[in-house]
Amino acid sequence: MSIPPQKTALPRRIDARKLVQREQQLDGVVPSEALPRLGESVESVSGDVVVELTFSRDLQRNQMASGHLTLDVNMLCQRCLQPVAQHVEGELAWGFVWSEEQGKALPKSLDPVIQEGDELDLYQVLEDEILLNLPMVAFHDGECVSQEHFHSEAPEKAADEQQENPFKVLEQLKGSSSGSK
């Protein structure tokens, strides 16, 4: 029985230009403690974020990275307000630029990532991607709240009111005006 190798932590700061020139591949993890905005957005994060990134140039010679990220989080179910486990996956397709104008010139298939200066904060860019890939509303797949919690006394009253025709007055007016002709 062999133990799978532990993935190493990815560096927080990278130079995208150098990684693209070397056509480097990064496989590793990002510690969930290093992503404070993610921690604020969910109930808890189960383990670390697993990331695979490949740096290269596309056919138009744009500097880019493509890859995949996965993680497991617990979010608040919007039905029962209890934690619900969510598996989050995201496909990454970044184009590295050094100004907004360059970002506008990228193909639509690439998300612009602006590298200011010599280094890029990889954790911040990955955290942005994770937040965009979180479900907008989390809920359990099965029925987590009993249907008997969704009734009230008001429907009977509303049914009585609906039986009375709101056009009854108009009908009476029409009947009285047709009799006078």
Counting beta carbons within 10 angstroms of the beta carbon of residue 27, is it exposed (0 to 12), middle (13 to 18) or buried (19 or more)? middle
**Angstrom distance (rounded) from CA 98 to CA 120:** 11
Predicted pLDDT at 80: 87
Give pTM, 2 decimals. Answer: 0.75
**Angstrom distance (rounded) from CA 74 to CA 82:** 9
For residue range 8-29, list pLDDT tens digits in order: 999 999 999 999 999 999 999 9
C-alpha distances (whole Å) from 98 to each of 16, 29, 67, 179 are 11, 26, 21, 84
